[in-house]
Structures are given as C-alpha cells and as structure tokens.
Structure 1
Amino acid sequence: MIGRLRGVLAEVGEAECLIDCGGVGYVAACGARTLGRLPAPGDETTLYIHSQWSEDAGPRLYGFLSRDERRAFTVLLAIQGVGPKAALSVLDVLPPGELASAVAREDKAAVGRANGVGPKLALRIVTELKGKPLGDGHFAPSAPGVHAEVAAAPPPPSVTGEAVAALLGLGIAEVNARRAVDQALIRLGDEAELPAVIRAALQELGR
C-alpha cells in the first residue's frame, strides 16, 4: 500500500496529477484545493496518499499535501453515503481545521457548500464527525461538555478564511477564491497580513 509519493510533478489535470518517482509515473486523484497549491510541473513535490482498491476500478490513489488532509479524508470515507468524490469536495471548501469548527457549530450549511453534498448528507456528516479526530489536534466535540474548550471558544477566523470570505463577497466562486488565496499565501508566506493576501489573491485572479 502506498502512503506517500515524493518525486517530480510531471502533469496536472482537472482532477488528478502525475508524479514521476524514479522513472515511474503515479496518477493521484486530488481535490481542486490540492491541485491549486501544487508547484509548477517539473518541480519536486510530496503527496500523502490514501490508497484504495476495488474489483471494478482496481487500485486508486488519492493525494494530499498534508497528513491532516489525508486523515480527514479517511474519516469522511467512513461515513455512509460519502464516497471519494464527495470527501474531496468537502475538503475543497473546508480544510480539516475549518471542518472541525463547522462540526462544533453544527453548521450543516457550511458542509453543504461542497459539490455533491445535499442537506441530508451534510447533516449526516456533521452528526457522525462529532468526536472524531480531523487532524492537527482538531476534534469535533461529541456532546455538550466534551472538548468544551473547542465548542465554547472556536478558534478565531484564519487569514485564509477571512480572505476567502472577502473574495466570496466579490462574487468569486469558492473553489477559485480558495485556490487564489492559497497561491497568495505561498508567495507571501503564512505570516502575511490580511489586506496583502487579498490583494495578492486578486492579482492571481487577474483583477
């Protein structure tokens, strides 16, 4: 079972990428957020891999840029009705930390923004993720009083979240907004101020 790929990024498609590892090309399916944060083709990259095998499709690799994203993907797949495509869509709109916060708030609408996730499935996701580890120490509270510090005092909005919200207010699609903000943070660094991130993201979008 493959758990990680480290090699040269050879190709990037609409829903997958090809990584050359010592002359062997591995195709990994990725969410739009991951694809938007990959380096330029020809550069080296590392993907954390979730391997899946089925009799119909054979082996299938799903790639993520962090262990937390891979862990959250695995947890989502354990929920009835959530397949790989829906799990990737959820992580496109809600990275692990934001997903944990949404579950803590029982924010079904936030989860329901993911493509292919209707109201019923969003409710199931919020319900079944309670008490589950979603990476980087993020636990969704399982009941009132459990992990009360998470429920009572959710983390302040991140620069990423605020920048994405600002772009959404300008009518930019969420997937495009997140991709532009991620690219801006790659250029500016994680300590960049919010106004600078928004300006850089708008430059990424050509505005």
Structure 2
Amino acid sequence: MIYSITGLLRQVAPNYCVVEACGVGYRCSASTYTLSSLPGKGQEVTLLTHLWVKEDGVELFGFSTEQERLCFRMLIGVSGVGPRVALAILSDSTPDRLMLSIAAGDAKALTRAQGVGAKLAQRIILELRDKVSDEDLGAELAAESGGAAAVTGSARSTAKSEAISALVALGYGQTDAAAVIAPMEDSLAVDELVRRALKTFMRG
C-alpha cells in the first residue's frame, strides 16, 4: 500500500490535486480541508494516502494529517458511506469537529455534507460513536504516526485549551467550558476531555 507521497505540487482542482514524484504525476482526490492547506504550485508537499481499489481501477486519496486519514477510513467502514461521501463529510468539517459531532450524536451537523441524509447520519453516529469516544483513539493516532512521545506539561495544558475551544465551537460558553474542563486529569487526551465534558453538560 502507498503510505504517503512527497513531491512537487503541480495542480490543484476543487476536489483533487496532482503531485509529481520522480517524474510521475499522481492524482490525489482530497477534501477541502486538505486542499486548503496545500502550499503554492511548484513547492514540495507531502500527503498521507489511502489507495482505494475498485472494479474499474484504483484511486489515490490524499490527506494533510493522520487524523483526517483515520476519520476517512472510519467513515468508509460504515455501510452506505463510500469514499466520495466520506470526502464530502471531511470537506464540510475539520476532523476534530467531525469526531465531536459524532460523539455528541449531532446528526444535523453531518447532514450538512452533500450526500448525507438523516438516516445515513444516524447510521454513522451509531457505528462510530464508540470509536471516536474511545480513549484508545489517541493511541491509535500516535501509532499511525510512528509512535507516541512522552506527554509534557505544556502538551497537557494545550489539550485542555483545545478541548475548551472545541466546546465553544459546539456552542457552549467559554466560562462554562473552562469550569468543567479545569478539574479533569491532565493526562486525558482532547477527545476524552470533550467526551466527559459533554456528559457533564447533558446531566445538567
């Protein structure tokens, strides 16, 4: 399997880009999230990839982050979600917000993506909710990225800050979010901090 590709960015289109490596141009289908992060044409770029094998050929998908690729792979594992729909979902949201929407059971947020109706949104939530709320998700991301580094105090502080920002993005007040997150263990990952905070808010 092609894990990643590094080369010169030759073309950027609404739903794909072309990366030239060793004289060969590779067409990589990509989300708006990834395409918006690309450098200028002619500059070097590295994309993580997923090779999709279909009856009439193969297609290469490119991702700017490991988190986005992991989200893509989880989405295409859901019945009724093909790579096109998965890219549409990732184009409508960041990977962080997507996981938060699934964890919170926010079907309305998912239906904003082209090709996602209410029933499919509910199926995505049903099949992925436990996965995105799992404490092992952070470990899986670290393993895919080549191993986890030791967590420093500043990293733990950043995790809480990111969790507060994520809650604010979901509509909760900054003060309320900070009050709920502050007493939580410093060792918790962002997704776990948010999951616990959402449970607290739901209990009232």
3-state SS in 2 of match to 1:131: helix
The alpha-carbon deviation at position 156 of structure 1 amounts to 2.1
Cα distance per residue 1:14-42 (max 9 Å; x no partner): 21110011111110001122112111101
Q: Tell me the matched-pair count.
A: 147
Q: If the length of structure 1 is used for normalisation, what is the TM-score?
A: 0.65
Equivalent pair of 2:32/2:90 in contact (CA under 8 Å): no
Aligned pairs (5 A) from 1:25-104 = 25-56=25-56, 58-104=57-103
Q: Distance in 1 between matches of 2:124 and 2:55?
A: 27
**Percent identity over the alignment?**
37
Equivalent pair of 1:9/1:19 in contact (CA under 8 Å): yes
Cα distance per residue 1:80-125 (max 9 Å; x no partner): 0001111011112222221221122110001111111111111111
Report the structure, 1 or 2, having the larger helix content. 2
Letter in 2 for 1:3: Y
Letter in 1 for 2:100: S
Q: Gaps spanning 5+ residues in structure 1: where?
A: 140-153, 163-207
- Show the counterpart of 2:164: 156
3-state SS in 1 of match to 2:62: strand
Q: Structure 1 residue runs of 4+, over 4 Å off?
A: 133-136, 158-162
> What's the RMSD between the two structures over aligned residues?
2.6
Cα distance per residue 1:140-193 (max 9 Å; x no partner): xxxxxxxxxxxxxx932349959xxxxxxxxxxxxxxxxxxxxxxxxxxxxxxx
Equivalent pair of 1:19/1:26 in contact (CA under 8 Å): yes
Equivalent pair of 2:97/2:166 in contact (CA under 8 Å): no
Q: Distance in 2 between matches of 1:100 and 1:115?
A: 18
Q: Distance in 2 between matches of 1:105 and 1:133?
A: 10
Measured at CA, do residues 25 and 90 of structure 1 come closer, stay the same or move farther in structure 2, by a change above 3 Å?
A: same
Letter in 1 for 2:13: G
Equivalent pair of 1:108/1:123 in contact (CA under 8 Å): yes
